[in-house]
């Protein structure tokens, strides 16, 4: 497991707090979770929790996206981004924010 401290923060008292953690499987699949910064309001179901799912295979990420999108509110459709072959964000029916992306660089970058 990897984690990152929140050094680039608006409140200096938060500089040594853990910002996110990541678990990587042997096949390269990653799950990352990060907390909502104190500068944003926290309400259950609105910026409650962010979970990032990252993989190397666009088909795998698309399959996860399609399952998570059932009953969800799509905040950013799954599509190519300047830093990733695929990137998308949605809020599932339980209020969890999911960020999915492909770890590789886009082919047309």
Global pTM?
0.61
> How far apart (Å, rounded) are the C-alpha atoms in residues 1 and 21?
7
What integer pLDDT is reported at residue 47 of this predicted model? 59
DSSP conformational letter for 37: P
Fold of 2-102: 3.30.720
Q: What share of the chain is helix, strand, coil (3-state, %, to 5)?
A: 15, 45, 40
Domain edges within the chain: 2-102
What does the pLDDT look like over 51-108, one tens digit per residue?
888 888 999 999 999 999 999 999 999 999 988 899 999 998 888 889 999 987 545 5
């Amino acid at each position: 497991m990897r984690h990152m401290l929140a050094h680039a923060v608006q409140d200096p008292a938060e500089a040594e707090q853990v910002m996110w953690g990541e678990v990587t499987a042997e096949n390269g699949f990653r799950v990352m979770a990060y907390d909502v910064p104190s500068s944003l309001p926290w309400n259950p179901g609105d910026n409650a929790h962010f979970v990032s799912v990252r993989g190397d295979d666009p088909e795998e990420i698309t399959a996860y996206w399609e399952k998570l999108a059932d009953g969800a509110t799509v905040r950013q459709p799954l599509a190519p981004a300047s830093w990733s072959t695929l990137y998308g964000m949605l809020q599932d029916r339980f209020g969890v924010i999911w960020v999915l992306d492909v770890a590789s660089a886009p082919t047309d970058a």
